[in-house]
């Protein structure tokens, strides 16, 4: 055969064309784009839900309900929170109630009687309704009823507290509606309180730690969706999480400025806020109807979380206007605790922090001192006095011992890389001590309520403490009173000095050889805020 005809019978394979390569690449890309999110969704669901995933390992990073939902608007947040807890932590409400969800331990579910009704004893009854800020998670002796009993009002007035932790304005309304008839014949004064930064959001939830009622506006009535399923396990079984795509929710709720406004629209925040405003204003109308139809004297009391204690928090928005606008329209008295918190803290954030507890069990609620401040606001409402707070009023409160504060609080912390017990008065240790690295400084804040003490246990293992002592702020704008600084070694005061200004800083050189304990003490009050800081430059404990 010739060379031209010597073939194998097959055409030589042709290389794929450029167009074919492009189509193949695009197909692979398309398949990848489809499969990648599916794989990511499946993987995310396993991390979130699978019992085989270590909840303390990689799973912990993704088992945070705020990644997928909004605690202020969506039940899914609270359902996820319950899911992420162990079965033992998923307990029912202590005083569960099919109408209101739950009551405090002082209020009996079903008939809503109060365990302290016997304390009325012919005195004018004051009923307080609200959430945990009304309830007071402090010790009982620091709660509003106890403060009332040692106030100048005690002879003529008695307070029954119907506040309950976690309540929204909807539950406050339902409790008023179903308990007020019990006391109507006593012509009580009724205080309707609300936490501005939280209670209005809770009204649109059906589950918040525990199952709760959900109200809708039907015609001219507020109608509950049905009796509350009070078993957490049964409720969650019948009402599972409604998230269709965890990946999409993760993208919607990420903390990023990229497409922030668009993601907010996708989350439906504007419509949720509109629903909250309409619903809560209608709830207030119904509360007003319940109380006015019985001709009961009442007023509204606004509580605030610490970020909104002195001025509206950035996130408050429309919430700030709900009570003022309603009270102006209905002609009902509104007393805002912010007025008193600002007055007594002189508008200073550090002073105001002394009215709140930080860490368990208070977790941002008012401490004993904060309760006293808020009671003074409440007291003015009880007496029918809507005037602004003035020194005369606080002097009256002082006369009856309302602002006596002698209790100390101890907090464990670390200063100069050593464990230290920080003892403070009225602040739970917050904003009373700090360290800076550039420049190296140790700061202790004195205060009118008592000294700040930083105590180190040495066990004979330290040699020396050195530094330069001065005040932490310029004298301009500060009071003339002096700050004093003590050093205590093994329970003996070895240094007692007035704290000098920066130009006259005092050199510290304290021998600690063989000593067991060492304490730094800041005492005095030059007007609060930055004026009360004692500074030790270049502190060194060797």
CATH number at residue 415: 2.60.120.1060
Mean pLDDT of 127-146: 94
Query: Which pLDDT tens digit goes with each residue over 307-317?
Result: 999 999 988 99
Does 283 lie in the same domain as 192?
Answer: yes
pLDDT band at 475 (very low <50, low <70, confident <90, very high): low
Between 499 and 398, the more confident residue is 499
pLDDT band at 406 (very low <50, low <70, confident <90, very high): very low
Query: Which pLDDT tens digit goes with each residue over 83-96?
Result: 888 666 678 999 99
Between 424 and 137, the more confident residue is 137
Does 235 lie in the same domain as 182?
Answer: yes
Residue 24 pLDDT > 80: no
Q: Into how many domains does the chain fold?
A: 2
Q: Which of 47-51, 101-105, 111-115, 180-184 has the lowest mean pLDDT?
A: 47-51
Q: Please give the pLDDT value at position 57.
A: 64
Mean pLDDT of 181-205: 97
Does 388 lie in the same domain as 291?
Answer: yes
Residue 321 lies in a domain: yes
Residue 51 lies in a domain: no
pLDDT band at 12 (very low <50, low <70, confident <90, very high): low
Residue 428 pLDDT > 90: no
> DSSP string covering 304-318, please?
--GGGSSS--TTTTT
Does 413 lie in the same domain as 393?
Answer: no
Residue 389 lies in a domain: yes
Does 470 lie in the same domain as 392?
Answer: no
Residue 144 makes CB contacts below 8 A (sequence gap 6+) with 128, 134, 136, 159, 161, 371, 374, 375, 378
pLDDT band at 326 (very low <50, low <70, confident <90, very high): very high
DSSP 8-state symbol, 473: S
CA-closest candidate to residue 48, choices 9, 22, 81, 95: 81
SS3 content of the chain, % helix, strand, coil (to 5): 35, 20, 40
Distance CA 518, CA 462 (A): 10
Residue 34 lies in a domain: no
Distance CA 201, CA 305 (A): 14
Residue 536 pLDDT > 50: yes
Domain boundary residue, one of 349, 369, 399:
399
Mean pLDDT of 148-154: 91
Mean pLDDT of 387-412: 63
pLDDT band at 14 (very low <50, low <70, confident <90, very high): low
pTM score, whole prediction: 0.72
- Torsion angles phi and psi, residue 529, rounded to 5: 60, -140
Mean pLDDT of 159-164: 98
Mean pLDDT of 112-135: 97
Residue 208 makes CB contacts below 8 A (sequence gap 6+) with 78, 166, 168, 202
Mean pLDDT of 156-168: 97
Cβ atoms of 273 and 318 within 8 Å: the answer is yes
CB count within 10 Å of CB 474 equals: 11
CA-closest candidate to residue 197, choices 305, 54, 339, 72: 305
Residue 297 pLDDT > 90: yes
Residue 336 pLDDT > 70: yes
Distance CA 38, CA 45 (A): 11
Distance CA 103, CA 221 (A): 24
Mean pLDDT over the full length of the chain: 87
**Residue 18 DSSP SS3:** helix
Residue 195 lies in a domain: yes
Mean pLDDT of 237-263: 86
Domain boundary residue, one of 376, 399, 422:
399
Does 418 lie in the same domain as 376?
Answer: no
Residue 51 pLDDT > 60: yes
Domain of residue 442, residue span: 409-541
Does 257 lie in the same domain as 123?
Answer: yes
Residue 396 pLDDT > 60: no
Domain boundary residue, one of 399, 434, 449:
399
Between 171 and 245, the more confident residue is 171
96: CATH:
3.40.50.1110
Percent of the chain with pLDDT over 70: 85
Does 321 lie in the same domain as 234?
Answer: yes
pLDDT band at 276 (very low <50, low <70, confident <90, very high): very high
Cβ atoms of 114 and 181 within 8 Å: the answer is no
pLDDT band at 26 (very low <50, low <70, confident <90, very high): low
Residue 4 pLDDT > 60: no
Q: Please give the pLDDT value at position 62.
A: 83
Does 280 lie in the same domain as 218?
Answer: yes
Residue 4 lies in a domain: no
- Torsion angles phi and psi, residue 503, rounded to 5: -70, -25
Greatest mean pLDDT among 7-16, 445-454, 475-484: 445-454
Does 269 lie in the same domain as 357?
Answer: yes
Cβ atoms of 339 and 385 within 8 Å: the answer is no
Mean pLDDT of 529-539: 87
Residue 401 pLDDT > 60: no
Residue 29 lies in a domain: no
Residue 200 lies in a domain: yes
Percent of the chain with pLDDT over 90: 57
Does 491 lie in the same domain as 444?
Answer: yes
Mean pLDDT of 407-430: 77
Q: Please give the pLDDT value at position 141.
A: 87
CA-closest candidate to residue 365, choices 137, 103, 208, 128: 137
Q: Please give the pLDDT value at position 526.
A: 77
Mean pLDDT of 349-374: 86
Q: What angle do CA 348, 352, 358 make, to 5 degrees?
A: 135
Q: Which of 125-129, 152-156, 405-409, 523-527 has the lowest mean pLDDT?
A: 405-409
Residue 146 pLDDT > 70: yes
Residue 432 pLDDT > 90: no
pLDDT band at 53 (very low <50, low <70, confident <90, very high): low
Q: Please give the pLDDT value at position 220.
A: 86
CB count within 10 Å of CB 457 equals: 13
Does 518 lie in the same domain as 388?
Answer: no
């Amino acid at each position: 055969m010739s060379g031209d005809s010597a073939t194998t019978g097959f055409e030589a394979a042709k290389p794929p064309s450029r167009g074919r390569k492009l189509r193949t690449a695009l197909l692979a890309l398309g398949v990848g784009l489809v499969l990648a999110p599916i794989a990511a969704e499946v993987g995310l669901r396993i991390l979130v839900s699978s019992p085989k995933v270590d909840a303390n390992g990689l799973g912990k990073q993704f088992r945070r309900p705020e990644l997928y939902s909004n605690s202020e608007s969506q039940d899914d947040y609270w359902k996820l929170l319950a899911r992420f807890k162990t079965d033992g932590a998923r307990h029912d409400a202590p005083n569960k109630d099919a109408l209101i969800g739950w009551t405090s331990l002082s209020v009996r579910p079903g008939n809503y009687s109060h365990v302290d009704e016997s304390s009325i004893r012919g005195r004018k009854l004051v009923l307080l309704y609200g959430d945990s800020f009304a309830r007071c998670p402090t010790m009982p002796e620091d709660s509003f009823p106890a403060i009332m009993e040692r106030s100048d009002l005690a002879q003529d007035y008695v307070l029954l507290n119907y506040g309950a932790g976690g309540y929204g304005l909807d539950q406050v309304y339902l409790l008023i509606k179903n308990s007020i008839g019990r006391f109507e014949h006593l012509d009580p004064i009724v205080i309707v309180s609300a936490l501005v930064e939280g209670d209005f959001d809770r009204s649109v939830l059906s589950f918040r730690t525990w199952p709760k009622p959900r109200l809708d506006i039907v015609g001219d009535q507020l109608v509950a969706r049905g009796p509350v399923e009070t078993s957490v396990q049964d409720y969650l079984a019948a009402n599972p999480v409604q998230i269709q795509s965890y990946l999409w929710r993760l993208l919607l709720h990420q903390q990023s400025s990229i497409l922030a406004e668009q993601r907010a629209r996708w989350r439906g925040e504007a419509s949720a806020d509109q629903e909250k405003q309409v619903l809560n204003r209608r709830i207030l109308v119904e509360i007003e109807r319940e109380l006015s139809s019985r001709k009961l004297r009442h007023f509204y009391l606004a509580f605030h979380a610490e970020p909104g204690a002195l001025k509206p928090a950035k996130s408050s928005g429309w919430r700030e206007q709900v009570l003022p606008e309603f009270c102006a329209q209905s002609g009902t008295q509104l007393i805002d605790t912010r007025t008193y918190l600002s007055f007594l803290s002189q508008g200073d954030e550090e002073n105001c922090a002394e009215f709140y507890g930080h860490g368990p069990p208070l977790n941002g609620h008012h401490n004993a001192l904060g309760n006293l401040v808020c009671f003074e606001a409440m007291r003015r409402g009880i007496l029918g006095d809507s005037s602004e707070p003035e020194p005369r009023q606080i002097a009256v409160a002082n006369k009856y011992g309302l602002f006596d504060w002698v209790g100390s609080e101890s907090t464990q912390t670390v200063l100069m890389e050593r464990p230290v017990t920080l003892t403070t008065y009225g602040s739970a240790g917050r904003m009373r001590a700090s360290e800076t690295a550039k420049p190296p400084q140790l700061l202790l804040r004195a205060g009118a309520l008592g000294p700040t003490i930083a105590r180190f246990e040495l066990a004979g293992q330290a040699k020396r403490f050195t530094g330069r002592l001065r005040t932490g702020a310029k004298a301009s704008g500060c009071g003339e009173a002096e700050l004093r600084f003590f050093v205590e070694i093994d329970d003996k005061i070895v240094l007692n000095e007035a704290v000098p200004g920066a130009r006259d800083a005092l050199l510290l050189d304290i021998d600690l050889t063989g000593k067991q304990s060492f304490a730094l003490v800041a005492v005095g009050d030059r007007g609060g805020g930055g004026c009360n800081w004692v500074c030790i430059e270049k502190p060194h404990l060797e």
